[in-house]
Amino acid sequence: MNKVLLIIQREYITRVRKKSFIVMIFVVPLLILGMSGLIALVAKNTSELSSQQVVNIIDNSNAFAGKFHNVKNIKFQPAHQSLTDAKAGLQDNEDLSVLLIPANYTKVPVQIFSKKKPSIKLTQEVENQMNTIATTKSMVEHHIDTTFLNTIKKNKISISAMEVTATGTKDANVGPTMLVGIACAIFIYLSLFIYGAQVMRGVIEEKTSRIIEVIISSVKPFQLMLGKIIGVGLVGLTQFTAWIVLSVIATKIAGQAFSSPQSPMLGALAVLQTIPFGYILGCFLFYFITGYLLYSALFAAVGSAVDSETETQQFMFPITLPLLFTYILSVSVLFQAPDSPLAVWLSIIPFTAPVAMMVRIPFGGVATWQLALSMSLMVIGFLFTTYVAARIYRVGVLMYGKKASFKELAKWFFYKE
């Protein structure tokens, strides 16, 4: 046990003393805060950032003449020239477009010409206005009172999502909850890759420099692998703890800086405070630790089986495929249906649970039995992968100059002590 502690101490101290580690502790929270502010600023001023677009309309149907209305950064005007001349004028102005509406526009496609690819905003605006104009024209032809219909359309219904709890009802905060779930999935996905890869690189470095031969003479391979995994894991926990503390401080400072009651930033912070971050953080730490132990053991086995990092790809892809698959689903599908059968099963299977469960937990709909089963299987999963990896590691760490394959790894697993 003392030897394992010494290895843990060495791995931990070596990494936390690096300048890159200290710099990243302070840089990451500042980058997150800066990026959040930049995104909010860009989102607020998107319309001001785009240039004025002019659309010359050639209406061969005479159904849309004078019925387009200008919107911010888009101006519609009739083209008093032929299509050939109008297209020739596009070469001198990138902000100019020509809209050609054929006589039989319901059967022949409407076309828009420009020097560069037109923006989605422009094409959608043209489509929306044309559909509205065409619909109004059709209703008038059928003697439908369009004024009455427009009055009805103004009566919009808004829905406020409320959550019923044992203490009463409260705002469900679906938007912020969704963002927190996606953020947790991204953080845990990146952390498992980053710190797992550090274990693998450490094994490869010691193996290629032949230092491993000296170390193995004093400790057992399993003790060395376990010490490296725990040491790097503690480095990750230290970094996360520092990021959380600094992020809380930065959030407090931002809240005071935007102390105006009308400030959108202050409103966003108030909403985020209603989310149970203590519960989410506890689950995050559990799934980070168990997920890290599960994957880093496999990364250590991969590191022991190769002589350089370039040879790891054939083994890395099958190992990380479940994690990558779940991550893609998490940021595209799972947050939209966190209680679907797919989300439930992915949050229970150990190889996919760290990412999938962290998407579901912020929504608060995870049943107790599902969480307990998932956590139990995570513990069993990392114990099993550590056992498998240790048996491969004890042989592979002293193998040099031999191209390993999955068949070879299976042989190493069944070698007797």
Are 244 and 346 in a shared domain? yes
For 330-354, what is the mean pLDDT?
Answer: 87
Any idea what DSSP says for residue 117? P
201 shares a domain with 106: no
* In a domain? residue 120: yes
Question: Looking at the structure, do residues 56 and 186 belong to the same domain, yes or no?
Answer: no
The structure tokens listed for 112 are 């828009």
362 and 252, same domain (yes or no): yes
Domain span at 56? 52-143
Each residue's pLDDT tens digit, 238-290: 888 888 787 777 666 665 555 554 444 444 445 555 567 788 888 888 998 89
CA-based nearest residue to 300, from 238, 220, 385, 240:
385
Residue 110 located in a structural domain: yes
pLDDT class of 64 with cuts at 50, 70, 90: confident
99 has which bridge partners? 57, 112
Question: Which of 67-81, 253-267, 341-355 shows the lowest per-residue confidence on average (mean pLDDT)?
Answer: 253-267
Give the chain's domain count.
2
Domain contains 64:
yes
Same domain for 181 and 100: no
Q: Are residues 71 and 198 in the same domain?
A: no
pLDDT score at 348: 93
5 domain residue, yes or no: no
| Structure tokens given for 118 | 């037109």
Mean pLDDT for the stretch of residues 115-128:
84
What confidence tier does 314 reach under pLDDT thresholds 50, 70, 90? Answer: confident
Residue 83 located in a structural domain: yes
Check residue 266 and give its pLDDT.
47
The CATH number covering residue 82 comes to 3.40.190.10
Q: From 96, 125, 143, give the residue that closes a domain.
A: 143
Q: Do 407 and 296 have their domain in common?
A: yes
pLDDT class of 1 with cuts at 50, 70, 90: low
Cα separation, 182 vs 43, in Å, equals 19
Alpha-carbon gap, residue 136 to 114, rounded angstroms: 28
Q: 297 and 326 in contact (C-beta within 8 Å)?
A: no
- Is residue 249 assigned to a domain? yes
Q: What is the pLDDT of residue 86?
A: 82
Integer angstrom CA distances of residue 11 from 4, 6, 84, 133:
11, 9, 72, 69
Q: Is residue 47 part of a domain?
A: no
State whether 209 and 72 are in the same domain: no
Whether 410 is in a domain gets the answer yes
* Residue 43 confidence (pLDDT) above 60: no
DSSP lists the bridge partners of residue 76 as 55
